[in-house]
Chain A
């Protein structure tokens, strides 16, 4: 007779984890490998400040101030034309001076921030604009004496601005 090995006590047999059986629906999963690359960047935080704003901040501020000036100017003209006899029209008419003063302040601040070469260019451009305007207005004044029509004085400021821009372009080019 052969001796049969006693069947092991099921209560003492090691318990197979459910995941080791090939047919087990429970799969042991390994801890995920650490990623070899950094987390994707947080696009919300890493969006750089607009390069356009950084580069053209002064020009944008100047443009917005000019826009405000034009809006107030048009508004005041419309209001005064609708109320030609009102006693308060003098206050409304001078309202555009406030945004215009802001434009002047922005311009002076931009000048103060320039470096020494840029300041020299601006000074030469101012001289060019002043001298050219003097020559043109004097010349046209002589022509008016000979019979040409009288021009409004408000043309002088745009003329200065135009010649100033032209002078700035010329003297900037000379230092290139």
Chain B
């Protein structure tokens, strides 16, 4: 799943560690989400959206057809 996490984080000049602390996860998890190696759970995706004050669809984009 593609995401704009790195861009959004850069806009706010947050480090991965700072974002991880806001989300309550490890820095490695933030890195894995950014690189697309790990897709977050729905609760974590909502936490991300709330942290960046955006809709989930503005952060994540599904690859290919969802149906």
Among A116, A120, A175, which residue has its beta carbon within 8 angstroms of that of B25?
A: A116
A97-132: CB near B (< 8 Å → 1, else 0) gives 000000000000000000111101000000000000
Given contacts A174-B37, A175-B37, A176-B37, whether A118 and B32 have CB atoms under 8 Å apart is no
- Is A175 within 8 A of B28, CB to CB? yes
Is B29 an interface position by the 8 A CB rule? yes
Question: Which residues of B26-61 have CB atoms within 8 Å of chain A's CB atoms?
Answer: 26, 28-29, 31-32, 37-38, 40-41, 44
Is B24 an interface position by the 8 A CB rule? yes
Q: How far is the CB of A157 from chain B (nearest CB, A)?
A: 28
Q: What is the bound-complex CA distance between A117 and B30, given in angstroms?
A: 10
Q: How far is the CB of B6 from chain A (nearest CB, A)?
A: 16
For B25, the chain A residues whose CB sits under 8 A away are 115-117
- Is A176 within 8 A of B32, CB to CB? yes
Question: Which residues of A113-165 have CB atoms within 8 Å of chain B's CB atoms?
Answer: 115-118, 120
- Is A116 within 8 A of B37, CB to CB? no
- Is B29 within 8 A of A116, CB to CB? yes
- Is B38 within 8 A of A117, CB to CB? yes
For B37, the chain A residues whose CB sits under 8 A away are 174-176
For A118, the chain B residues whose CB sits under 8 A away are 26, 29
What residues make up the interface of B, taking CB atoms closer than 8 Å to A? 24-26, 28-29, 31-32, 37-38, 40-41, 44
What residues make up the interface of A, taking CB atoms closer than 8 Å to B? 115-118, 120, 174-176
Q: A117-B29, A118-B29, A176-B37 are in contact. List 14 more A-B contacts (CB 8 A).
A: A115-B24, A115-B25, A115-B29, A116-B25, A116-B29, A116-B40, A117-B25, A117-B28, A118-B26, A120-B38, A175-B28, A175-B32, A175-B38, A176-B28
